[in-house]
Amino acid sequence: MTFAAPAQAHAKTNTLVAKLWNYCNVLRDNGLSTIEYVEQLSYLLFLKMADEISSDSFTEREARPVVPAPYDWKSLVRLKGIDLEVHYRRTLEVLAKNPGTTLGTIFAKSQNRITEPALLEKLVVDLIGREDWTIQGTDLKGDAYEGLLAKGAEDTKTGAGQYFTPRALIDAVVEVMQPGPKDTITDPACGTGGFLIAAHHYIREHHMQNLSRDDRLALGAGKVWGNELVTGTARLAAMNMLLHGIGDADGRSLITVGDALAEKPDRHASLVLANPPFGKKSAITIVGTDGRAEREDISYEREDFRATTTNKQLNFLQHIMSLLEMDGRAAVVLPDNVLFEGGAGEKVRRRLLDDFDLHTILRLPTGIFYAGGVKANVLFFEKRPPRRGGVPNTSKLWVYDFRTAKHFTLKQNPLRRADLQEFVDAYLPGEPRDGRVESERFKSFDYAELIARDKVNLDITWMKDPALDDADSLLPPEVIAQEIVEDLQAALSEFAAIAEALGGEVAGEVDVSQPSDLG
């Protein structure tokens, strides 16, 4: 990574994002949503990059075509108007037939949504064609694409924000987890790949100069991988990782597409970083013979699960427990209900305390996610072998309250990396946890205290927001309004869960969707 002129690189990135975004404004007038625009860019960016890679005589490997000649970048730039549109549609159709490869992941179920040939030609010639994407620094082109994804997350009408985790949070989590070159790293609900990219970047920044060539190649060829349920989001993740220098354009895809919860994992990781999608239930939509669509709840009968439940987050937590190799570690963003829900929730929490070392919980503030009403936490835990005499692996849980008296909004007061520095410092990354010091926001709780709590409730709080009692410290009206809305949404979701547990039917199911990751 180049550090010589960070301000200059940042300015170049912003210029490139602005250029890409200006074209988005043009295409929105043609009926494209932001997320559809980013998808179309992904197809064209891949074809242009593949062309640059194939013609680069300085690559370490022998130059070879990544995309078959009849459907490569050169075949597009030779055409204009309706001929270009027809050929582009055929290109997408052909390239989708490469399952298991990066090529197949990016072009899976692809469609041309640019119905105006002149606009397609402007994208090919004026926007994508005039940039040398593989020559530019990895950080420049990758950060530009990621910046576009961040803008796309603001498009609330399409729900794009549910796949985006704030970069400030990702960076802080990765910094305390300290991924290394020996780690195998995965995210089972990777969204657009934010956690995986940040972990890879951390390793490059802190270890790359000490790695051999073989180790560097291995780092981008299978030691980092992810899974995503939604085909379109997996496409964005594959492209995002490729632009950040992770994986090969014509190699095996590092992103698999499908339901991560469906089967017991056949591969384990030493580090799991994840922000699974929020929402009360796992469900599928079934269309009956009468044409009516109905939702059917899913519970997963897996031998490695302690509890059978339709709660999506509890299932993801159990899946991540199985994903970890012995002495592996995890950092997972989960909603409050995972910490206090009874029944299956209590069973899972007991297993987490007994079989794993749940050592830290970071209570997150509201106002940092694109979905309203989200009250979430980051759970940090490690997988340990059983101890003699049935002694639990968790001896002490540290809770950092970053929620009370913290007020963020997505635009006026967004979360920044500096806001999380006190938590990072208190965590003592890389140092023994017995050196931690309690403070107003950081408290420790022994196993005996935790297990004695009603239903092993880990939703622990002890602070009060002074702004609620002090008339002189009133928050801005827009912040107050947003927090009222988020509290109501969260309360409705919890009441719906209670009604369901009591056997009642919930009309108009509340689904507090959560960003899964940039993801």
Percent of the chain with pLDDT strictly greater than 70? 76
Region of residue 231 (left: phi > 0; alpha: psi -120 to 50; beta: else):
alpha
Q: Dihedral angle at the C-alpha atoms of 111, 115, 121, 124, nearest 10 degrees?
A: -30
Query: What mean pLDDT comes out for the span 228-255?
Result: 87
Helix (H, G, I), strand (E, B) or coil at 202: helix
Whole-number average pLDDT of the chain:
82
* pLDDT of 451 higher than 80: yes
Tens digit of pLDDT for each residue in 344-365?
999 999 999 999 999 999 999 9
Q: Say yes or no: do domains 9-148 and 160-189+260-471 share a fold.
A: no
* pLDDT of 505 higher than 60: no
Give residue 251's pLDDT: 81
Asked whether the beta carbons of 364 and 413 are under 8 A apart, the reply is no
Domain ranges of the chain: 9-148, 160-189+260-471
The pairs formed by 210-219 with CB atoms below 8 angstroms and a separation of 24 or more are 211/181, 215/181, 219/181
4-13, 14-23, 275-284, 381-390 — most confident range: 381-390
The Cα 22–Cα 12 span in angstroms is 15
Give residue 274's pLDDT: 97
Query: What mean pLDDT comes out for the span 115-136?
Result: 82
Pairing between β-strand 185-187 and β-strand 224-228 as defined by DSSP bridges: parallel
This prediction's pTM: 0.83
* pLDDT of 293 higher than 60: no
Percent of the chain with pLDDT strictly greater than 90? 47
Q: Tell me, which fold does domain 160-189+260-471 have in CATH?
A: Rossmann fold (3.40.50)
Tens digit of pLDDT for each residue in 302-360?
999 999 998 999 999 999 999 999 999 999 999 999 999 999 999 999 999 999 999 99
Helix, strand, coil share of the chain (percent; to 5): 45, 15, 40
Q: Which amino acid is at 105?
A: T
Q: Which residue has the tokens 């009468």?
A: 290
The domain over range 9-148 is classified in CATH as 1.20.1260.30: yes
* pLDDT of 486 higher than 70: no
Tell me the pLDDT band of 267, cut-offs 50, 70 and 90.
Answer: very high
Question: What's the gap between Cα 54 and its chain centre?
Answer: 31
The Cα 277–Cα 228 span in angstroms is 10
